[in-house]
Structure 1
Amino acid sequence: MRCLIGMYFLLWIGLQAKAQQVETIFIPASNTFIHEPYLRFDSFVIENEVIKKAYSKEMRLQDHQGYLWFVADNQSLIRYDGHYAKTYDSTRFYGIQMINKTVWSLTDSGVAIFDTTTETFASYPTPLVKNYVYWGAASDSVSKLYILFPSNSDNVRSPFFEFDIQKKKFRHIQLSHLLNGYTQKYEPDSLLILCKPLTVDTKGRVWGQISYGSDTDHGRSAFGYYDPHSNIAVWYPLYGAYNPEIKNKNPNAPQEMSISNVYIDNRYIWVGGWYYLGLLRFDIQTLRWKQYHFSELVANQVFYIRTFQQNKFILYSNNGIKVFDKFRETLHEYPHIPDNQFSPPTNSNSIFSGDRNTIWIGKHNAIGDAEVFYLSPENQVFRTFPQAMKKERLRVFCQYKTQLFFTYQNPRGFVLAAYDEQSGKVSELFRQPYGETPEQYFHMAMPDTINQVIWFVGKVEGGSIRQWDLRRKQMINVQAPIQDSKLRTDQLYNVMSLTQDKEGNIWIPVTQTTLTTEGSLIKYDSRIKQYRHIKSIENLINKQRLRSVMADSRGTIWLGSWDDNLIRWFNPKTEQLSIKNAINRKATESNIPINKMIEDTRRGVIWIAATKHGLWKYTMNTNQWQQIPLSNVDFVFNLQLAHDGILWIKSDNGLVRYSPDTGTFKQFGAEYDLKIYDYGMLIKGNNDELFFDRFRFYPQEIRDNASKPKPIFSFIKVFDQELALSQNINTIPEITLRYNQNFFTVGFSVLSYIQHQKNQYMYRLDNFNKNWITCGNNPSATFTNVPPGEYTLYIKGANSEGIWSDIRSLKITITPPYWQTWWFRGLIAVFIFGILYLLYRYRIAQQTLKSRLAAEEALNKQREAEYQQRIAQTEIAALRAQMNPHFIFNCLNSIQYYVANNDLDAASDYLTKFSRLIRLVLENSRSEKVTLSNELETLRFYIEMEAMRFGKKLNYEIRIDEDIEPDILQIPPLLIQPFVENAVWHGLMHKPQGGTVSIAIKQPQAETLQILITDDGIGRKKAVEFKSKSATNRKSFGLKVTTERIELINGLYQTNTKVQMIDLTDAQGQASGTQVIVEIPI
């Protein structure tokens, strides 16, 4: 039994020793492919000046939220969202990594953990470390960081640590035992066992570079791991690896390993390193090594390993980006190509894997701004052709089984060749020298399984119809007679297309022959193997050249012209031709070719490429023609219909994918490295594969970036100064601004970086904007003079595919000034109410006092008014009493005059009238007012008595307007008589021939009575002269008394009786009398 165990032990030792040997695979230059397969490196446009100027060191991380992190020259960190950058420069940061959605870094103060809520770093130091510039770091998927710090005098001996993210604590790992993974024996104990952590597997083992030494021995390094559960380090020394700089090496001595990167891939661990270590593959199960030595790599150094596509790794070395195909064991180099925006940069200085396996590559120029590129697996759907096919002016015409038939040109002519995709070999089928016609080429090729040939048609001297015989493997120049024609097939000089109907017949439209430029239609009958000219349609073709042909499912042959925008239908059974001019009716130009027609049997339509007239659709059931609008597409050259019903269009600026069901389309132009290389090449091969110029692709592999982008808020600025927030703007429930902070700008973005310059943004501030506002690719919203209130800012963004994000909102409250707050208004209201109440009470008191004083004053005024009234009445009575004697004295003077002249009859008559006048005067003097009729009666008696004195020298008249009622209207008594007396005595008495006194009574207004007293006497001026010369010096008391009475009446009754005297003149300006106007309110 012991012997059996010993044999097994010896056998196991032998196997382990064998397992230590390295299998070296040399990858020569012949097995290194340049830019093959095609990879598209997209330039990441950085428009932020902070990153442009600060970034030069590393682009290190895309975190779980989608932000990109940069390490700047000054060891600060910059976080970038595609538009806006935020800088963290409070300390020096040594790199940036992420563990379980937690971003962390190492600083001068320890491990810095990023808090996504406050957006700040919190540092956690350990007293055992002074120098935090780490040599290696790795993290598991939960909470543990493993860090190797520099082994120098600043730090503790064996500075290998574990840091718990959750507990925020360091644990110093001291390794005293090292296990040989091959022999399962421990190496001699040492106090200098270090682990440079580079990755952690699913079991929690920390893989990296294990260093083993002593104080006197510098030590050795090998690949291995640290097991936290057992606190043991295990290593696997490397024996027999290829290194041309090590000569006379001892095969039994392990080689020094300087490891830069470790990547775990199921049962294999891939290791990259410096100094000819190259790329190593370690089999965890068999413990065997395989070394890949790349002759194209400087010192065979590999710094970075990441999976990219199936069976492929991205390798980063000191001379650029490489792709390693681990299945084929081939290396693919992608050097920078000048003036090609889709080639990788030179001298890149950082690389990392981001979201969706996107590889990010950073570079900083010695002079100028930073450059960033990304390699997205989702964008690698366009493939180029193998290196053997990359010829001058390559054109692929058809794919038949495993062969691609293509042409290329050289200085002597063009060549038709076939590329076998299984063997990778190119076979030359046909060579055509240019001869007298330099431009010769094929237009189209079509496999024909019925006739077992591949048809080639074009513009070729000696015969434009050629066949590749699939059975005999030879090229045939078709030189056959054509029935109903004088020409042979080799005299059809320019043929641009052909088609095969459901019966197997070949239809060939002719653009030009060696004899004429007129078009014609040729049919090849596959059954009888004959060509025939369709002569019956010659007149209807009308000498037009034919460009394209198609046989639909009904058997109709469609013919597209070159010259007249027309489509012609030919019925093979009736041989009748009909012309369809729907396109021509809308055409603005003639001589526009109909390039291609293709039937969509599932939808029952025909799609038409009408070059400058765009894309057209004909619906068979409804017989309708429709032009399909495609924005930014001026020309449609070619069409292909995929199995999924999607139409692929070759346009003037690239490739267009059109979905007939939704009416949507997407352009693939220069931003996808697609350019127009050939006028019409777009063919469909096996399994729906499409060939477009220098590219080939499967339509089903082109998937849009359909995932909704994530919208985020970036900042809020008030008057262009960023507002300091207590936490992340995306987690804060509400932002409150003061009333004087109502000029603010909010920046936002979507974390979608694929062609992010095409991203679109919209925003709306609820309660401020009614509609969404489009801001293009400038995601910021600026608001001015926003009144106090509560608002909600809504944002959304679309990625480069036009997929819109969900709406994100941010509540913004602008507080009013204190004088507009409810509490202030309440206090003001209470204050005003109190003031008003006090004013009210004061007003009531004042009103009470005022009322009492007013009552007393009113009583006093009443008493005073009564007193004044009695005084006025007494004065008026006195004036009347004064006036009555004056009037009586005048009358007595007249009686005296008659008695002196012994005129007793006149005296008697005068006394009779005088007595009647005195009775009226006495009666009226007792009353304050008398009727107008009574006053006029008194006036008549007076005037008649004066007339008796003057004889015929005094005339008078009294006129009353018809609408005046004298028996009703009342006026003060004896108001008119004094003015009449004054007119008689002072106006007429001094006029030798006498005169007339006219009294007119009018009512110009309802409340005014107007009395006009007019005389034609000598006037007031001469009356004054006569009065001054008069010896009697007669006084006129009546006019003076009347004036005083009017003033008293106005004051007593609050009236406005007016008296106006007017001097009258004749035409020569001489005085001709006086007019007195008395206006009495009634």
Structure 2
Amino acid sequence: MLPRACFLLCMLLPVCAGTIAQTEDESRFTRYTRVDGLSGNTITSIVQDSIGYIWIGTDRGLDRFDGRFFQCYYPFAQEFPLPDNWISGISLRGREIIGSTPSGVFVFDFVTHRGRQLIVPCDSSIFYWTNNAWDALVDGTGHYVVSTFTGLYVFDTSGKLFRRYDFYRPSDVGRTEIWVGGPLYPLANGTILQYSDSGYCAYDPSTAQIDDAYELNHYAFRKAVTDGKGAPRVCLAGKSGQLFVINGDKNTLDLYDPRNGSVQSIPLPIPGSPGLGEAFFLNDSLLAIMGRVTGFYLLRYDASVHRLSLASPRLFEDKQCTRVFQDRDGRLWVGTKNGLYKENLSSPLFRVDDLSLQEPALKDFPIRTVSGDRTRLFVGLRNKGGVLVLDKASRKILRHIYPGPREDSCNNISFFYPYSRDTLWVGSQVGLFWLNLRDYRCGRVPLPPGLAWTHHENCLAILEDSRGIIWITFRKFNSLIHFDRSTREWGEVPLRENPLLRITFCISMAEDLQGNIWLAGDGLCRWNRTKGRVDTLIPYPPGMRLKNFMMIFDRDRDNHLWLLSPSNGIVRFNCTDGRMVLQKTDEDLGGGGSSPVIRGRIWMGGYSGIAAFDTRDNSIRTFTYADGLPMVPITTIRKGSWYDSREDRFYLGSLHQLISFIPDIPPTRQPPPVFLIDQITTSRGNYPADAGRIALPFAGNFAQLSFNAVHFSTPEEESFSYRVLPATDTSWHLLSSVRSVHFSNLSPGEYRIQVKLSAVDNRWPEQVKEVRLVVFPPFWARWWFVTLGILALAGGVYVFYRGRLRRIREKLVLDKKIAEYEMKALHAQMNPHFIFNALNSIREMILQDDNHNASRYLTRFARLIRLTLEHSRQTFITMRQNNEYLEGYLEMERLRFADFSYNIEVSGRINEDELRVAPMLIQPLVENAIWHGLKPKDGSGQLSIRFYLDNDQLVCEIEDNGIGIRESLRNKEHGQVPHRSMGIANIRQRIAVLNEKYKMNCQLHIQDRNDVDGRNGTLVTLVLPADEETPILHEHD
């Protein structure tokens, strides 16, 4: 059995003392710990999935990192519980992450966020050891191969165990130390090797067989993986299935070929290789080898000639490194016992020199101002740090100068001004000093007694105008002094004679094209060169926040002053007409130093980096630590930075680090982040992230879209927004730090939910993701239910209508029958009346012994009785039938009254066979004309009956030349009427029935002819409807 201690020494890094200060190679890395959201500080493994996420195994869980946030998975996580906190290792296969823990193996699909656990079934007494997994991976057939403390186990694709090799049994518990498993090494031929305490085992996926004596049966292999004492050597699998072995005896990396058992030795370019630990291939040509205790080496591997070369000196030499990984962008990730380190891929735009690496004490002295000459740089420090003189090319510190005693405030440097080739004026917290650039002697600038107050005031700003006058301001209310180079005279601008000099403290100055001096502080004022006094005071314009101060960047060729107001933004001021315009608002524009206008741009330091403001289009481009800048603010505030126009290089300070660059924006843009919909949670459950269309019910609908961006360069530049279409408001709604949007109780319809990722400074193009969300209407609003409802309603309306129509028709039929019965009843009343009158006439003829006429009368009476009976069965008869009946009746009446004549006229427009009238309606009127009009008359009588059409009306006129209606009524009042008449009243009742039941406009008019034309007689007019739609006139029995 191989010595276990030796193997553990190779595989595990021991815990040792704490770390020392950060080394130079670590300065380009960002460190993450539990404070930043990492689940644990001990990193055990690192992989990157196909989306771009970095997955980190730690001693306290599994983490997913997108560049800004860590998402942690724990044993009791609701989404997917891990078997155990301690992640021994993780590997990647397709969409699955296979992880090993002391309590089993897990398989997690990072796309669907679903997983399962692989647990080896065993007796409970040995469960801990059997499922304490060392390593796990997927073979060529998709099966999961698991190495644990007790043996080797193979699970099929469904997670069911189908092959096992148990080196230990339950009976061994308590009798021996159970520890046999180790790492797995996949070979090019598909075989998977497992390190074992009793020697290497091999699993062949093609035969699904486990060879527990592989090392014993392959002598060349055993000789390659063990040293002369039988101790195991550190092995690593190559990216193409090779097996590499670190041979400490020969200081080589041996390449073992399992096909023929040959070994090829490659010299290691590392001194003292026996002290090496675990090794990892980062890609096909880059290899990382851990130090035995701390640090690691990067080696380049040329597979064509099998040669190794050292890519870098020992890195992280004071850190206990556990893993090294390289992502798809070539960025290094280093796992340690005390956190995760991410390499910042710096841009060549910036040069950053950490001066504290030369003098560690400089960490306590931030850089306040920078200046220089042809070969040297002068760095002014805060916190009484004095002045540094650097070699311009190498940034090596040449001299550290203190203008005064070490603890004196004169060592708080405010600005530099190159007074002459060999003299530098130095502004300090307690006045103005000179520095001899030849021998570095220094002293106070001599001033007249009237300006002795400056020895106790902080210098703020300095400017030399076009006429050689140097203007200097101090931290004294509205103070301004000047020095004339030509006369070497000092002067002060008195406040008493310049009442408009009211800007509190002047922190910056500029000269316009007319030679006037503009001073900026709490407002802006102008010293007029012509007038020799301050003649203009410009406070903040309306609409701007009246607080804080203004600082002048520079004056451009158009006589514009470019100002910075930390509370408002960048302001452009026209020195000619006095107009002030707010050009750009940004919360991160204050604080750092600024450049003059260089090729249309102003460069300035901010809280999170350096910004370039373009005066031509008001655009801003921001550069951060991802571009190579330190992750600390710029400290050369106001005019503390320096532009070297001779070399076209701009200098700023960031704490103890000196930054310089050529002030041009590189044309290349960073590749955009990976932007994706991470998860979709709805009332119907979770949907895959690539679901383009989601359907939800109406009741209780809700949807949450979780989205993310994977970006490791400048994640702080990410800006998320969303909108929902269609909508009246199509603008984007900005999201803060929340990376999800939630919708609930949506109305039925189809929605397009769009999420946009953009960069704050437009360093990458915008990306938009869209999910279509369909909310089905409730069942009562769906087409089939509406259709059924409409059909049911229509059916109900139809049934109601048909029922109503049936009842109306039944009522109409009933009313019609009632009307008919009433008509027939009235008709029936007319028949006895007519018969009664006829019988009276026959009786009278018999009494008068007029038997011949009585016989003729009786014959015609019988015929009329037959017609009467026929007509009584009908509601209406034709005009022809009516006129035949009238002819018969009149002929019968002429037998009794021989001295009258009659005539019946029918208009040619009347169709006598079609037009119908009620029976016994006209005959009583004719009868009354004979009996009450003609009979009482002396002499011959004349009766005329006329039928004609007047518009849509049938008019029947019955005219006689009798005594007239008025005389007839008078006779009736005196009881002189020999004939009893019921006809007129009956007719009026029948007309009323016709008008009410059949909606007919029947009218009966009886006029005395004497009232009409002065003649004797009566005119009876009966008006009946005669249009084709009148049912009374056209209804057939």
After superposition, give the CA deviation of every residue in 1:486-535 in whole Å (9 maximum; x if it has no partner): 657977956422123467x351234588xxx664441331xx47124387
Please show how residues 748-827 of structure 1 align to structure 2 within 5 Å: 748-752=707-711, 756=715, 759-763=718-722, 771=730, 774=733, 776=735, 777-782=737-742, 794-798=754-758, 803-809=764-770
Pair 520,798 (structure 1): closer, same or farther in 2 beyond 3 Å: closer
Q: Does 1:568 align with 2:568?
A: no
Matches within 5 A, 1:688-767: 688-698=650-660, 706-719=670-683, 721-723=685-687, 729-730=689-690, 744-752=703-711, 756=715, 759-763=718-722
Instruction: Say whether the 8 Å CA contact 1:388–1:426 is kept in structure 2.
Output: no
Q: Which residue of 2 aligns with 1:150?
A: 195
Candidates 410, 426, 429, aligned match of 1:456: 426
Is residue 446 from structure 1 mapped to residue 407 from structure 2 by the alignment? no
Cα distance in 2 between the residues matched to 1:152 and 1:188: 12
Shift in CA distance, 539/66, structure 1 to aligned 2, threshold 3 Å:
same
Indicate conservation of the 8 Å contact 1:96/1:105, yes or no.
Answer: yes
Structure 1 residues 586, 1047: CA separation in 2 closer, same or farther (over 3 Å shift)?
closer
How far apart, CA to CA, are the structure 1 residues paired with 2:275 and 2:496? 83
The 1:508–1:306 alpha-carbon spacing in structure 2 relative to 1, beyond 3 Å, is farther
**Pair 1:508-2:471 in alignment:** yes
Alpha-carbon distance in structure 2 between the residues aligned to 1:31 and 1:78: 29
After superposition, residues 1035-1050 of structure 1 pair within 5 angstroms as: 1046-1050=988-992
Distance 1:357 1:316 in 2: 23
**How far apart are residue 547 of structure 1 and its match?**
1.9
Query: Equivalents in 1 of 2:681, 2:323: separation in Å?
Result: 33
In structure 2, the residue matched to 1:997 is: none
- Say yes or no: does 1:177 pair with 2:163: no
1:207 is aligned, of 227, 237, 244, to 244
| Alignment partner, residue 251 of structure 1 | none
Paired residue secondary structure (2:460): coil
Q: Is the 8 A contact 1:606 1:619 kept in 2?
A: yes
Structure-1 residue corresponding to 2:9: none
CA distance in 1, matches of 2:493, 2:42: 75
Match of 2:380 in 1: 406
Contact 2:634 2:652 in 1 (8 A): no
- Answer yes or no: is the 8 Å Cα contact 1:745–1:781 preserved in 2: yes
Query: Do the aligned partners of residues 560 and 984 (structure 1) sit closer, same or farther apart at CA in structure 2, a change above 3 Å counting?
Result: farther
Are the aligned partners of 2:31 and 2:342 in contact in 1 as well (CA < 8 Å)?
A: yes
* Cα distance in structure 2, aligned partners of 1:588 and 1:814: 47
Shift of 1:452: 2.1
Aligned 8 A contact 2:414 2:640 in 1: no
Which stretch has the larger CA shift, 810-819 or 632-641?
810-819
1:478: Cα distance to partner? 1.8
Aligned to 2:587: 632
* Aligned equivalent of 1:215: none
Q: Which amino acid aligns with 1:150?
A: Y
Q: Distance in 2 between matches of 1:863 and 1:239?
A: 126
Which of 428, 432, 445 is the matching residue for 1:478?
445
Residue 65 of structure 1 is matched in structure 2 by 51
Alignment of 1:514-533 (within 5 A): 519-525=479-485, 528=486, 530-533=488-491
Go from structure 1 to structure 2 and tell me whether the alpha carbon gap of 1:969 and 1:568 turns closer, same or farther (over 3 Å shift).
Answer: farther
The change in CA–CA distance for 1:45 and 1:817 in structure 2 (over 3 A counts) is farther
Q: CA 1:785–1:661 in structure 2 vs 1: closer, same or farther (change >3 Å)?
A: same
Letter in 2 for 1:524: D
- Determine the C-alpha separation between the residues in 1 that align with 2:53 and 2:966: 115
Report the Cα offset of residue 567 of structure 1. 2.9
Q: Is it true that 1:599 corresponds to 2:550 in the alignment?
A: no
Change (3 A) 1:638 1:279: closer
Give the structure 2 partner of residue 41 of structure 1: 30
Q: Does the residue aligned with 1:640 lie in a helix, a strand or coil?
A: coil
CA contact 2:694–2:773 (8 Å) conserved in 1:
yes
Instruction: Note the C-alpha offset of 1:683.
Output: 1.4
User: Partner amino acid for 1:875?
Assistant: Q
Q: Closer, same or farther in 2 for the Cα pair 1:177/1:711, shift >3 Å?
A: same
AA aligned to 2:708 is S
The offset of 1:475, in angstroms, is 0.6
In structure 2, list runs of 5 or more residues that go unmatched. 1-16, 74-78, 116-137, 146-153, 155-162, 168-178, 303-308, 841-898, 904-919, 938-954, 1002-1022, 1026-1037
Does the CA-based 8 Å contact 1:221-1:257 persist in structure 2? no
Deviations along 1:89-127, one digit per CA (max 9) or x if unpaired, are: 798985223589997667999998989899988424466
Q: Give 2:220's aligned amino acid.
A: H
Amino acid paired to 1:227: Y
* 1-structure distance, mates of 2:980, 2:554: 129
Three-state SS of the structure 2 residue aligned to 1:698 is strand
Is structure 2 residue 401 aligned with structure 1 residue 428?
yes
**What is the number of equivalent residue pairs in this alignment?**
793
Match of 2:315 among 313, 324, 344: 313
Write out aligned runs for 1:1055-1070 (5 A): none
Cα displacement (A) at 1:709: 1.9
CA contact (8 A) 2:642 2:650 kept: yes
Describe the SS at the equivalent of 1:317. coil
Q: Does 1:397 align with 2:369?
A: yes
Evaluate the alpha carbon distance shift between residue 929 and residue 124 of structure 1 in structure 2; reply closer, same or farther with a 3 A threshold.
same
Letter in 2 for 1:556: G
8 Å CA contact 2:270–2:310 kept in 1: the answer is no
Kept in 1: contact 2:185–2:193 (CA 8 A) = no
Q: How far 1:470 moved relative to its partner?
A: 1.1
AA of the residue aligned to 1:721: G
Partner of 2:563: 608
Residue 147 to residue 884, structure 1, CA distance change in 2 (3 Å): same
| 1:198 corresponding residue in structure 2 | 236
Q: 1:376 aligns with which of 335, 341, 344?
A: 344
TM-score (norm 1): 0.54
Aligned residue identity for 1:406: G
**Change over 3 Å in CA distance of 1:32–1:161 after alignment to 2:** farther
Offset of 1:717 from its aligned partner? 3.1
The C-alpha deviation readout for 1:174-217, integer Å capped at 9, x for no partner, is 7533899xxxxx99999979664336389x86434459xxxxxx
Contact map agreement 2:25 2:315 (CA 8 A) in 1:
no
Contact kept, 8 Å, 2:277 with 2:290, in 1: the verdict is yes
Preserved CA contact (<8 Å) 2:826 2:986? no
CA apart distance, 1:698? 3.3
- Aligned pair 1:875/2:875, yes or no? no
| In structure 2, C-alpha distance between the alignment counterparts of 1:144 and 1:552, rounded to whole Å | 79
The alpha carbon displacement at 1:759 in A equals 3.7
Give the Å deviation of 1:539: 3.9
Corresponding position: 1:227 with 2:190: no
Cα distance, 1:468 vs. partner? 0.4
Residues 582, 551 of structure 1: CA spacing in aligned structure 2 closer, same or farther, 3 A cutoff? closer
Using the TM superposition, give the Cα deviation of residue 446 of structure 1 relative to its aligned residue in structure 2, in angstroms: 1.7
TM-score, scaled relative to structure 2: 0.56
- The aligned residue for residue 496 of structure 1 is 460
Runs of 5+ unmatched residues, structure 1: 1-27, 181-185, 212-219, 243-254, 286-304, 322-348, 366-370, 844-849, 887-918, 943-966, 990-1036, 1059-1079
**Aligned in 2, Cα 1:695/1:1045: closer, same or farther, shift over 3 Å?**
same
**Equivalent position amino acid for 1:197 in 2:** C
The residue that corresponds to 2:277 in the other structure is: 259
